[in-house]
Structure 1
Amino acid sequence: MAQTLYDIYCGPAPDAASLPWRWNLDPVLLAALAALAFALLRERDGRTFAALGLLVLVVAFVSPLCALASALFSARALHHVLLVAVAAPFLALALGRRDWRAPQFAFAVHTLLFWLWHSPSAYAFALSSHAAYWLMQLSLLGSAIWLWGVALSPRTPLGNACALLFGTMVQMGMLAALLTFAREPLYDAHLATTAAFGLTPLEDQQLAGVLMWVPAAGPYLLAVLWRLHATLAERGLDRRVP
């Protein structure tokens, strides 16, 4: 299927020469990011986390990474890792100690959406219109914020939080393994767009799997260590209080 049949939000696939100039200055996107920044940064609590989360969103949607994802599925995988494993925890922390609930449901919804949007047919649908693209991105980000909010909440028992984080890491690793070891490229939108960057479609897909497998695990492991440290510190403090 030719890429001309898609209506990709970030525009047509660039080549290596034009990529550095392919910043996304969509006024609607910039206005939405500005509104989000105003809503999050006006509160002193969590301001640093909000700024970090917003920075990751700018990298994902404004920088040339957005255009590169039109050419390379590996860039799309990196884009999604940034959304669900980097921006989402920062934004969840910025939202503060809300009453995050239903950890099992959060895990199920996020896992279902993550696998759904990486299926070839749903991925092709996401590239068919701007509305479909944003449905994919916002559902992935929103479900990830919910998952991280539950996992990082002090109200969630340590065992439940670690199970959520490890479970998410495992399901992402399973999808990554399928991408890495597939014998043929699965995504028609990238069949004719990878050569400009020195990759075959299959090599591009394998790189996507590696990115989703190895670097993506880091934030979840760090979060487990952070929860362990916070729990042990709290228990140590409780022992000191007479």
Structure 2
Amino acid sequence: MDGRWIPYCGEAPGPDAWLSRWNLDPVLGTGLVLLALALWRLSAARAATPRQLRCLRCAWTLTGLLYVSPLCALSSAFFTVRVIHHIALVLAIAPLVAIGLERWLRCLPTPLWACTAIASVTFWTWHAPAPYAAALSSVALYALMQLTLLASATAFWVAVRRSGAVAATGAILATTVLMGLLGALITFAARPLYAPHFASTLSWGVSPLQDQQLAGIVMWAPGSMAYLAAAMWIGWRWMRAERARGLRTEPA
């Protein structure tokens, strides 16, 4: 891998080494331990509901999986794995945090369409070639990329949960379209766009363009479908509630 592109997760591994590449960063490890202690304190003090604790524990576990396990190193090799990381961040960890910390986040102003726009712009910005390359050449920028993706997505899901069903569904569908459009642009690009992966996939027998196309498809299909599933879930719950309300108001 080009010496310029040694990101937070380390130099891109080959197929014979990636399973041994665990991230033992003491800063990350200390942070995870402190978060685990905070979760234990919340549980002991009964300061959160069982559902909130489950969500926070799942978010903690996913964070460890993404940033401690060999998947972290693999994301240095493949843009596809990096995209999977980011989709997990905005579509799994962020909503889990939004539910788990709902009690503490309720005082924050979260206008739905502003949060939708900020989350989408943040996601698009970090997947533009130049900002992405900058983030993979600087630990500080890499941390900024991860934190802004998580924070903007968490604010989005908080806003969705506070909004009515119609507005929430509309915001999610708008995000679905934007995610799919970005994925399509990446998939159909005629040449490799992401300099940190121009050579990182070659030892795996994969060209950078093939890796990029697969990453775009992952963003376009599973990523968009996950948002669409959330919109359908909200719509289904709304229709069920409306039906129950109608049954209650029917004359005997």
Q: Same fold (TM over 0.5)?
A: yes
TM-score normalised over the length of structure 2? 0.88
Cα 1:17/1:135, change in 2 over 3 Å: same
| 2:3 matches 1:4 | yes
Q: Indicate the residue corresponding to 2:35 in structure 1.
A: 36
Q: Which runs of structure 2 are paired with 1:222-237 in the superposition (5 Å)?
A: 222-237=229-244
Counterpart CA distance in 1 for 2:224 and 2:232 is: 13
- Cα shift readout 1:203-225 (whole Å, capped 9, x = no counterpart): 00001001111111233122223
| Identical aligned residues as a percent | 40
- Give the conservation status (yes or no) of the 8 Å contact 1:86–1:219: no
Q: Which runs of structure 2 are paired with 1:1-242 in the superposition (5 Å)?
A: 3-40=2-39, 42=42, 43-45=47-49, 46-96=52-102, 98-99=106-107, 101-151=110-160, 153=161, 155-239=162-246
Unaligned 5+ runs, structure 1: none
Counterpart CA distance in 1 for 2:180 and 2:65 is: 24
Mean Cα deviation higher: 63-72 or 232-241: 232-241
Unaligned 5+ runs, structure 2: none
Displacement after TM superposition at 1:240 (Å): 6.1
Mean Cα deviation higher: 5-14 or 30-39: 30-39
Displacement after TM superposition at 1:140 (Å): 0.5
Counterpart CA distance in 1 for 2:11 and 2:83 is: 18
- Give the conservation status (yes or no) of the 8 Å contact 1:7–1:130: no
- Give the conservation status (yes or no) of the 8 Å contact 1:19–1:67: yes
- RMSD of aligned C-alpha atoms? 1.9
| Local SS of the residue matching 2:12 | coil
Displacement after TM superposition at 1:55 (Å): 1.7
What one-letter code is carried by the residue in structure 2 that aligns with 1:227? I
- Cα shift readout 1:51-74 (whole Å, capped 9, x = no counterpart): 122222112111111111111111
- Give the conservation status (yes or no) of the 8 Å contact 2:187–2:213: yes
TM-score normalised over the length of structure 1? 0.92
Displacement after TM superposition at 1:78 (Å): 0.8
Mean Cα deviation higher: 198-207 or 92-101: 92-101
- Give the conservation status (yes or no) of the 8 Å contact 2:11–2:73: yes
- Give the conservation status (yes or no) of the 8 Å contact 1:40–1:94: no
| Local SS of the residue matching 1:23 | coil
- Give the conservation status (yes or no) of the 8 Å contact 2:110–2:156: no
What one-letter code is carried by the residue in structure 2 that aligns with 1:21? S
| Local SS of the residue matching 1:9 | coil
What one-letter code is carried by the residue in structure 1 that aligns with 2:72? C
- Cα shift readout 1:97-130 (whole Å, capped 9, x = no counterpart): 5256211111111111111111111011101211
Counterpart CA distance in 2 for 1:236 and 1:48 is: 30
Counterpart CA distance in 2 for 1:40 and 1:219 is: 28
| Local SS of the residue matching 2:156 | helix
What one-letter code is carried by the residue in structure 2 that aligns with 1:5? R
Counterpart CA distance in 2 for 1:89 and 1:136 is: 18
